[in-house]
Amino acid sequence: MDQRRDSLAVWAASQISRLTGVDVPAEIEMVSGDASFRRYFRLRLQGKSWVCVDAPADKEDNPKFVRIAQSWRAHGVHVPEVIATEYEQGFMLLEDFGDEILWPALHAESTTADDVRLLYQRSIDELIALQKLPHDDLPAYDDALLRQEMALFPDWLCERQLGLLLSETTREMLKRVELVLVDAALSQPTVVVHRDFHSRNLMLCADNKIGVIDFQDAVAGPVTYDLVSILRDCYVRWPDELVSDLVTSYWQAATGAGIWNDSLEALQRAFDLMGMQRHLKAAGIFARLNLRDGKAGYMKDIPNTCRYLRDVAGRYPEFAELCTWLDTEFLPVLANKLTGSQT
């Protein structure tokens, strides 16, 4: 028996009855869960539907989610309307954007290379709109948070997941890498940062709009963070030529919008180093999701995430020590342990 699901269904049905004047059965269907404690359900009535969110109040900051949703909608960003809330229980009723997530559209058999480029260009256009928004009311993506995120890599992936004991020399090397990455991040222009702006959190809505979801962790931070999230997505890898073209397209748009005021080469370096920070963080989070939360499905994305890290680090001489350690110690253990865990 799922008491929270039953309570959510009763509450959501009562809210929709109040709005429509129609008796609504307390019947909801599972839509999805995610990497957090939230769960999403759908309630249907006479050809219409709503999304019902179960977000436990002791684990999720629902008032922040609502504040961001209302602010971004008021500024023209296509996020779901919040129709009703019950903060004490952790329930929300949202506009339903449907089931067309960007991820499957990118990988459909009928999708051409031109289609992929167009879908990413539309996503970049939405990102530019997001980055134009005021960010004074958002928490800062500061030094402490950047370092806290990167610490997930040695703590959760290296030591707990892989059993790789790190020497003091290795830890000092990783600290030096962190210092370079933090400095690079904090030297960038500050904008609204979604923090998970990738193909599984973007929706294909009516009128060719890109819908934005899962934005409750938004902060004010480095301008390239969300660009990395969408173009170097942990769940997929596109040809370098396509990514480079899209970075150039973003540079042109961001320069025109006054968001970025430096060269394309400076943007590329900022993008690359921001990607290293995100991929260190993401690889650690995937291990934590497996070990702490029992969500083993994310383990398959660790190799791609770590390949991004190694490939980008290899482009910059200041990360030569990191590359040597990755090649001689980390990647062989990763390949052995993950292959062994899947057999």
Contact call for residues 41 and 2 (beta carbons, < 8 A): no
Token pair recorded at residue 107 = 């990988």
83-127 pLDDT, tens digit per residue, is 999 999 999 999 999 989 999 999 999 999 999 999 999 999 999
Distance separating alpha carbons of residues 311 and 216, to the nearest angstrom: 31
Confidence of residue 34 (pLDDT cuts 50, 70, 90): low
Res 248 pLDDT > 90: yes
End-to-end CA distance of the chain: 34
Domain co-membership, 160 together with 86: no
User: For residue 26, how far is the Cα from the chain centroid?
Assistant: 32
Looking at the structure, tell me whether residues 326 and 265 fall in a common domain: yes
Which of 95, 115, 146 is at the close of a domain?
Answer: 95
Average pLDDT, stretch 183-189? 98
Q: Which of these three, 65, 95, 125, is where a domain ends?
A: 95
Going by pLDDT thresholds of 50, 70 and 90, the confidence category of residue 343 is: very low
Which amino acid, residue 111? T
Q: Where are the alpha helices (DSSP H) in 87-239?
A: 102-107, 113-131, 143-150, 152, 168-186, 225-231
Could you read off the pLDDT of 44-59 as tens digits, one per residue?
Answer: 998 899 999 999 999 9
Per-residue model confidence as pLDDT tens digits over 153-179: 999 999 999 999 999 999 999 999 999
Number of domains making up the chain: 2
Helix axes 168-186, 143-150, angle to 10 degrees: 140
Domain final position from 43, 68, 95: 95
Quote the domain boundaries for residue 87.
3-95
- In this prediction, residues 226-250 reach a mean pLDDT of 95
